[in-house]
Amino acid sequence: MILGIGSDLANIDRIEATLARHGDRFRNRVFTDAEQRKADSRPRAVAATFAKRWAAKEACSKALGTGLRMGIAWKDMAVSNLETGQPVMQVTGWAAERLRAMTPEGHEAVIHVTLTDDHPWAQAFVVIEARRVASG
């Protein structure tokens, strides 16, 4: 069963300008250390990498039904990649609490995320699925 869907579109040039203007203050407020390392490992696509993760956090907050309010912090949502390159979303803090609260008893929540960019745009979709936990 689908618990929530969110999408977001971010302008890579706007993220690049924000990085130039606010630097580490912006990076440290919004992105986890692992997300920063991922962006830094892609020197030709730093802004695009950050923009995709920004969009994913916005999309996740929408899928959680809250947007970026009600106590959710930017770093409560973090994107990493499996060895295959597939993006995955982890939630902690208030975002994890919200996810637990919206997941029906007898189910586990699974967050699906997909990212794409085509300059100047970065886009993310997040779907939160509740899967029945096998009993027995």
Which domains are delineated in the chain? 2-132 (3.90.470.20)
Q: Binning pLDDT at 50, 70 and 90, where does residue 67 land? A: confident
On the question of pLDDT at 70 being above 70, the answer is no
CB proximity list for 87: less than 8 A, separation 6 or greater: 56, 79, 80, 81, 113, 114, 115
Per residue in 31-63, pLDDT (tens digit) is 999 999 999 999 999 999 999 999 999 999 999
Neighbours of 122 (CB within 10 A): 25
SS3 5: strand
Is 68's pLDDT higher than 80? no
Whole-number Cα distances in Å, 130 to 11, 51, 59, 136: 31, 28, 17, 19
- Tokens representing 21 are 């203007």
- Could you read off the pLDDT of 82-136 as tens digits, one per residue? 999 999 999 999 999 999 999 999 999 999 999 999 999 999 999 999 999 987 6
Predicted confidence at residue 88, as pLDDT, reads 98
